[in-house]
Structure 1
Amino acid sequence: MNHAPPPSDTTLDQEKWLTPGVKGIGSASFLADVGHEIPTALLPSLLTSTLGAPAAALGVIEGISDALAGAARFGGGVLADDPARRRKVAVGGYATTAVLGAATAGASAIWQVGLLRAAAWTARGLRVPARNALLADIVPPKAYGRAYGFERMMDNLGAIFGPLLALGLVAWLGVQWAIGLSVIPGLLAAGAIVYAIRKTPRPAARDKVPLKIRIKPVLAGDLGRLMAAVAAFEVGNIAATLLILRASDLLAPEHGAKTATTIALGLYTAYNVAATVASVPAGRLSDRLGRRGPILVLAAGVAAFAVSYGLFTFDATAIAFLAIPFLLAGAGIGAVETAQHSAVAALAPKDLRGSAFGMLATVQSLGNLAASTIAGILWTTVSPTAAFAYLTAWMVIALAGLLIASRRASRP
């Protein structure tokens, strides 16, 4: 009689964490990113070419939208403390973002674009803590790293595929139709979240958790020390568009502005590929290293950023040289985002997971705003070298904080 071979340890390990629920959440992140990258990529063209808006309008709309998204993430964390409520917020957030983002295709005035964009980004902010808390509900703690690494990998794949799809749709149907069709992957993302929820056990019946902002309990103990180090990192974590600008400026004298921009966008694609490739291995390493794993992986990601920003202080024009800091930053963000989420899931009290993820998202939003703003001022008033030296210093501070947090976390 023939017997099937016993499953390998690797197969059994996958079966424990790569469940239909995890796959559903990962698929939602991929589809949602495809959906919102299309209107994001085409928003400048819609405003300036179709509606005749000045370039300043884009900055104002994006600034307001990002600020509202940051505030919504904090509020979304409070909503997500309730296991039943977090499911509704996740589904509603994905569906609303899809509809409002696509609706900008029909806008006939600048103010309409601004209103729809701000509302879509608010809904997007609300859903983030709910999704992250939901993922922590459906995997065992020893697999947090792999689960969040998988979700981040899928999100980064969406960031690669979305702009490419936008280019194809514009060539075929035009800007407004392309934006309108972005509702399809967005609604599919909402469907993927529904699928994930249906594949996970329902939360035990209990009294509804009251809506209450709880900051002090969230920041107590190891999680508070971790958040301080994360804040230092985020204050030095600039938007990737400034990396593109640095490469474009360095390459323009030799290659011309148009070719330099094309090369810089190619380097940015390499950045996203590196982030995608690094996410799951970073999560796997985090799980293998035990209690200190997420903090150590986070420290490694921060160290990659420190080297990357340090290399950007040089006025090097060789494409091969510039590829190094882009790849380091991409691998760094893949490791950092995975480790941040798995660390919060592991360290936050279970009944405060929503608030903890909301706090993390708020720190990320405010820190990124401060980093890009201050770096931009230094860039303009002093030099790009000064801006990246400033950012490198913050990476070193964050790394020191993480090493201290790691030493404390190793104590029983």
Structure 2
Amino acid sequence: MTTTPASDRLSTADQDHWLTPGVRGIGSASFLADVGHEIPTALLPSLLTATLGAPAAALGAIEGVSDALAGAARFGGGFLADDPARRCKVAVGGYTTTAVLGAATAAATSVWQVGVLRAAAWTARGLRVPARNALLADIVPASAYGRAYGFERMMDNLGAIFGPLLALGLVAWLGVRWAIGLSVIPGLLAAVAIVYAIRHTPKPTDRDKVPLRLRVRPVLGGELGRLTGAIAAFEVGNVAATLLILRATELLTPGHGTKTATTIALGLYTAYNIAATVASVPAGRLADRLGGRGPLLVLAAGAAAFAVSYGLFAVTDTAVAVLVVPFVLAGVGIGAVETAQHSAVAALAPKDLRGSAFGLLAAVQSLGNLAACAIAGILWTALSPAAAFTYLAAWMLLALAGFALTLRR
């Protein structure tokens, strides 16, 4: 008797209804985990400078090292997640470890302790990402990848909105250290949610097992390799949202003052997150409806939204109503692109290489974002903000051309 692979054993109900308990569990894990790590992230500057008396340079060093380790861990976590049984263990361990180590920074009494705990927490967070994405591909049919990944991205973005608000409330009530310590609760609930999702995933068999080895060349072959090149062009132009906030603050300060300009810029950033949240599921639904070309079309639309957004940041005036437009466009763009990237990789990667494919995608995202921020920052300082955003818009147009070329092929 032939044994059916775990990823193929989907019930008729799962195929007809994509929002299964497993998908809801993964979405809940993303929401709770984002709430859990956004609290210490939002309060880290205060803990380092106001509580421990560290200079601002310490914050930059800690965040830089942590982000670098998280990027490397995502790449390494990819080939760990190729095996279905192993990816479940990596996912649960990653969520649990991130929650505990992130909250443990509340007890730190020196800067080096904060640095070690933050770096370790971010490494665990990086390891779990490919496992979560590969796990999601196991529990929905290929025709529903867009909606499933859109739902996960929507929940993650909701966590990014709710987490800082919860941090503000906890600080006002209990103080910085207690607020960071209590972040362990949503973090551990995220681990419970991922366990719930795993319980609703087909159990792997011996036939599903994949040996532990690093495989990059097979992932980059064929259509997935061409798509990865276009995604790399997009990520080199995908600058951190903090530069958008800085641009808005600089434009608004002459007419509103520093404090008011900062408040308005943070409000615009909230609009960015809301736009990303709202766009994620419709983008996934559109990708599914358009069939095999759907993710590529959504990727192209997202890159186009970013190109227009960056163009407006290069030339826009100081009116708040005008600044809302590029923030919302960038939010819609990131909501669409992240959803379509995951959907496309899940569809194109061989089943036994899904973990490695998602790990490679995460590595491209991390390295691309690093290059985007570094080069844009240099252009901003040496020339002007307009030059920086013109450079970023050019990369988005190049990515758009890459997606169009891949689509034609």
Return the letter of the residue paired with 2:156: D
Q: What is aligned with 2:44?
A: 43
**1:314 Cα deviation (Å)?**
1.2
Q: What is aligned with 2:381?
A: 380
* 2:36–2:186 CA contact under 8 A, matched in 1: yes
- CA distance, structure 2, for counterparts of residue 246 and residue 366 of structure 1: 23
- CA distance, structure 1, for counterparts of residue 63 and residue 250 of structure 2: 23
Q: What is aligned with 1:120?
A: 121
> Equivalent residue of 2:206, what SS?
coil
> Equivalent residue of 2:25, what SS?
helix
- Listed one character per residue, the Cα deviations across residues 220-273 of structure 1 (whole Å, up to 9, x for unaligned) are 011001000000000000000000000000000000000000000000000000
* 2:307–2:397 CA contact under 8 A, matched in 1: yes
> Equivalent residue of 1:17, what SS?
coil
Q: What is aligned with 2:3?
A: none
Return the letter of the residue paired with 1:404: L
* 2:235–2:365 CA contact under 8 A, matched in 1: yes
**1:203 Cα deviation (Å)?**
1.1
Return the letter of the residue paired with 2:124: A
Whether 1:254 and 2:246 are equivalent positions in the alignment is no
Task: Structure 2: give runs of 5+ residues left out of the alignment.
Answer: 1-12
**1:16 Cα deviation (Å)?**
2.0
**1:201 Cα deviation (Å)?**
1.4
Whether 1:296 and 2:294 are equivalent positions in the alignment is no
**1:13 Cα deviation (Å)?**
9.0
Whether 1:20 and 2:1 are equivalent positions in the alignment is no
**1:211 Cα deviation (Å)?**
1.8
Return the letter of the residue paired with 2:308: V
**1:67 Cα deviation (Å)?**
0.2
Q: What is aligned with 1:131?
A: 132
Return the letter of the residue paired with 1:367: G
- CA distance, structure 2, for counterparts of residue 293 and residue 207 of structure 1: 29
- Listed one character per residue, the Cα deviations across residues 134-171 of structure 1 (whole Å, up to 9, x for unaligned) are 00000000000000000000000000000000000000
Return the letter of the residue paired with 1:138: I
**1:212 Cα deviation (Å)?**
1.1
Using a 3 Å threshold, how does the CA distance of structure 1 residues 82 and 27 change in structure 2: closer, same or farther?
Answer: same
Please identify runs of 4+ aligned residues in structure 1 that moved more than 4 A: 12-15
> Could you tell which deviates more after superposition, 289-298 or 197-206?
197-206
**What is the TM-score of this pair, normalised by structure 1?**
0.95
- Listed one character per residue, the Cα deviations across residues 370-397 of structure 1 (whole Å, up to 9, x for unaligned) are 0001100110111000000000000000
* 2:101–2:118 CA contact under 8 A, matched in 1: yes
Whether 1:202 and 2:203 are equivalent positions in the alignment is yes
- CA distance, structure 2, for counterparts of residue 120 and residue 31 of structure 1: 15
Using a 3 Å threshold, how does the CA distance of structure 1 residues 241 and 209 change in structure 2: closer, same or farther?
Answer: same
**What is the TM-score of this pair, normalised by structure 2?**
0.96
- CA distance, structure 2, for counterparts of residue 100 and residue 60 of structure 1: 18
- CA distance, structure 2, for counterparts of residue 195 and residue 82 of structure 1: 19
**1:14 Cα deviation (Å)?**
8.8
- CA distance, structure 2, for counterparts of residue 315 and residue 53 of structure 1: 37
**1:205 Cα deviation (Å)?**
2.3
Q: What is aligned with 2:141?
A: 140
**1:315 Cα deviation (Å)?**
4.5
Q: What is aligned with 1:277?
A: 278
> Equivalent residue of 2:154, what SS?
helix
Return the letter of the residue paired with 2:143: K
- CA distance, structure 1, for counterparts of residue 180 and residue 207 of structure 2: 42
* 2:14–2:141 CA contact under 8 A, matched in 1: no
Q: What is aligned with 1:222?
A: 223
- Listed one character per residue, the Cα deviations across residues 289-312 of structure 1 (whole Å, up to 9, x for unaligned) are 000100110110010000000000
Q: What is aligned with 2:89?
A: 88
Whether 1:181 and 2:185 are equivalent positions in the alignment is no
- CA distance, structure 1, for counterparts of residue 280 and residue 15 of structure 2: 16
What fraction of aligned residue pairs are identical, expressed as a percent? 83
Whether 1:348 and 2:339 are equivalent positions in the alignment is no
Task: Structure 1: give runs of 5+ residues left out of the alignment.
Answer: 1-11
> Could you tell which deviates more after superposition, 310-319 or 255-264?
310-319
Return the letter of the residue paired with 2:242: T
Using a 3 Å threshold, how does the CA distance of structure 1 residues 174 and 288 change in structure 2: closer, same or farther?
Answer: same
Return the letter of the residue paired with 2:37: H
Q: What is aligned with 2:77?
A: 76
Return the letter of the residue paired with 1:374: I
> Equivalent residue of 2:310, what SS?
helix
* 2:84–2:209 CA contact under 8 A, matched in 1: no
**1:200 Cα deviation (Å)?**
1.6
Whether 1:363 and 2:354 are equivalent positions in the alignment is no
**1:206 Cα deviation (Å)?**
3.4
- CA distance, structure 1, for counterparts of residue 15 and residue 251 of structure 2: 45
> Could you tell which deviates more after superposition, 203-212 or 90-99?
203-212
Q: What is aligned with 2:163?
A: 162
Q: What is aligned with 1:264?
A: 265
Return the letter of the residue paired with 1:382: L
> Equivalent residue of 2:315, what SS?
coil
- CA distance, structure 2, for counterparts of residue 315 and residue 142 of structure 1: 40
Whether 1:389 and 2:387 are equivalent positions in the alignment is no
- CA distance, structure 1, for counterparts of residue 361 and residue 317 of structure 2: 35
- CA distance, structure 2, for counterparts of residue 267 and residue 192 of structure 1: 31
- CA distance, structure 2, for counterparts of residue 234 and residue 112 of structure 1: 32
**1:208 Cα deviation (Å)?**
4.3
Q: What is aligned with 1:9?
A: none
> Equivalent residue of 1:18, what SS?
coil
Q: What is aligned with 2:5?
A: none
Using a 3 Å threshold, how does the CA distance of structure 1 residues 67 and 211 change in structure 2: closer, same or farther?
Answer: same
Whether 1:151 and 2:152 are equivalent positions in the alignment is yes
